[in-house]
Chain A
Amino acid sequence: MSQPIRVLLAKVGLDGHDRGVKIVARALRDAGMDVIYTGLHRSPEEVVTAAVQEDVDVLGVSLLSGVQMTVFPKIFDLLRTNGADDMIVVAGGVMPDEDVVNLKKMGVSEVLLQDTPPQLIIDTLTCLVEERGAR
């Protein structure tokens, strides 16, 4: 019996679209993971503080408001200053393809957008954590 994967799901900024993130939370829980949800309207600082304290395997950010190119650079900066750069960061929601390319360059491991089947999200996270190995 290994420890369940720990995931922090975050909504950053003023975005209130939470239908998707709640589906993800439920799917991950039903797959046996421990999920911490930040709730709406959090700042990058709050999200990273929580992710570090909770020492999650995966920080998942859900964004449908288009602010990804403002938010993710802040998140990565904060992770670095907190000495938590081994955290797996994934994103989901609505984002244009060119942003997806840039986010991946920035260090986002996976971007899973509209209509991603929940099972694929589960499999992707499981795989990322396995690849990372012990920590």
Chain B
Amino acid sequence: MGVYLPSVELIARVQRGEPAAIGRLISRAESGMAEARDALARIHKLAGRAHVVGMTGVPGSGKSTLVSQLAQRLRAGGDKLGIIAIDPSSPYSGGSILGDRIRMSDLSADPGVYIRSMATHGATGGMARAALEAVDILDAAGFGVIILETVGVGQDEVEIVRASHTTVVVSAPGLGDEVQAIKAGLLEIADIHVVSKCDRGDANRTLTDLKQMLTLGIHEQAPSDWAVPVIGTSSVSGEGLDELLGAIARHRDLASDTDAGRARRKSIAEFRLRKTAENLLYDRFNAATAAASAKLAEQLMRRESDPYSLAEELLSTTLEGEGDHERDVHSKSA
């Protein structure tokens, strides 16, 4: 790409589906630079056509393998497909080895599939900060289906529901106490449950356990006439994959024209709004309080004041100090 290209100039190229431009704009979104904000705003307007499928489940449950298999089938049907694969950052170094892509290497020669790996960089909820911007960018670039694979933390992954039109929860046999894993907040969020690795003998038990558990709970925002299916799949034999694709398609059609579907879309929008505001607040707070918090910490350490009062004080410095705090890599080095 050579010289620094302003982000807005990337838009047209993103719309033409140029991989380098898509990649670059996602990087700009990830960096959170102010320079990219206009471009991302325009991209958001251009987006809105793609069906976003969230894929979550405990680590090693077979999400990436499943995504790869689904993708090959979707491609055979002509859909252009975007995949955003999120892996955790190391809590020690902040770095990461992003491994999902390897499981998807059967797709790697296909220009109709765009895979982007992202690290959490401290974000919670199994998501990465710019994951939703990345969805918009791929959407605007004409990818009709976008699959979001979250971190397999098995806890607190509910954010995926607020980001995807259809949420698939993957469980696998042989990963310890299966029901336990499902209990970790994942049971209720699924629009579709998958039990992967059905080529293994112990998969049946997982299937039965899961179905039993499901009869106890009710999905919070499913369309009322949606009965959450439980589908056994195997990426070894290919079993269940077409069924899963069928279920995803049915869920998409059903949600497009129902109250429940509209409610889901609204809650996605609201989540997006709040999340974005939260991120802004977080950045501003951090930037504005860096100096003050060190000073106030001294007072706390000496017990000259209490945590609540000092925290209030810290907050007030932030809110007063409103201004342009965003990082702007561009202006620094252009």
Contacts and interface: CB of A to CB of B under 8 A. Distances in A.
Indicate whether A and B are direct neighbours in the complex (CB within 8 Å).
yes
Contact of A46 (B93, B99, B108): B108
B330 A55 contact: no
Contacts of B27: 3, 6, 55, 135
A83 B108 CA distance: 18
A46 B109 contact: yes
Interface in B291-314: none
Interface SS majority for chain B:
mixed
Interface string A40-69: 001101100110111100000000000000
B4 A55 contact: no
A49 B27 CA distance: 16
Interface stretch (B14-22, B72-80, B156-164, B254-262): B14-22
Contact of B117 (A3, A36, A45, A85): A36
B197 to A, nearest CB: 20
B95 A134 contact: no
Nearest to B31: A3
B94 A54 contact: no
B2 A86 contact: yes
Interface string B1-32: 11010000000000000111111101100110
A32 B95 contact: yes
Given A4-B94, A36-B101, A135 B109 contact: no
B169 interface: no
Given A4-B119, A33-B95, A133-B4, 19 more contacts: A2-B327, A3-B27, A4-B95, A4-B121, A26-B97, A32-B93, A32-B95, A36-B97, A36-B101, A36-B117, A38-B108, A42-B108, A49-B108, A49-B109, A55-B27, A82-B20, A85-B1, A134-B332, A135-B27
B245 interface: no
B20 A29 contact: no
Contact of A54 (B99, B117, B333): B117
A35 interface: yes
A43 B109 contact: yes
A106 B13 CA distance: 28
A37 to B, nearest CB: 6
B269 interface: no
5 contacts: A2-B31, A25-B97, A54-B23, A82-B19, A135-B24
A7 B329 CA distance: 19
A81 to B, nearest CB: 10
B105 A38 contact: yes
Interface of A: 2-4, 6, 25-26, 28-39, 42-43, 45-46, 49-50, 52-55, 82-86, 133-135
B102 interface: yes
A86 to B, nearest CB: 5
A19 to B, nearest CB: 16
Contact of A37 (B23, B89, B97, B109): B97
B185 interface: no
A120 to B, nearest CB: 17
B267 interface: no
A29 B93 contact: yes
A61 B21 CA distance: 23
A65 B255 CA distance: 53
Closest 5 CB pairs of A and B: A55-B23, A29-B95, A46-B108, A134-B333, A39-B102
A37 B95 CA distance: 13
A49 to B, nearest CB: 6
A134 B97 contact: no
Contacts of A86: 1-2
Contact of B2 (A3, A34, A39, A85): A85
A37 B93 CA distance: 18
A4 B98 CA distance: 13
Contact of A49 (B19, B89, B117, B332): B19
B334 interface: yes
Nearest to A50: B108
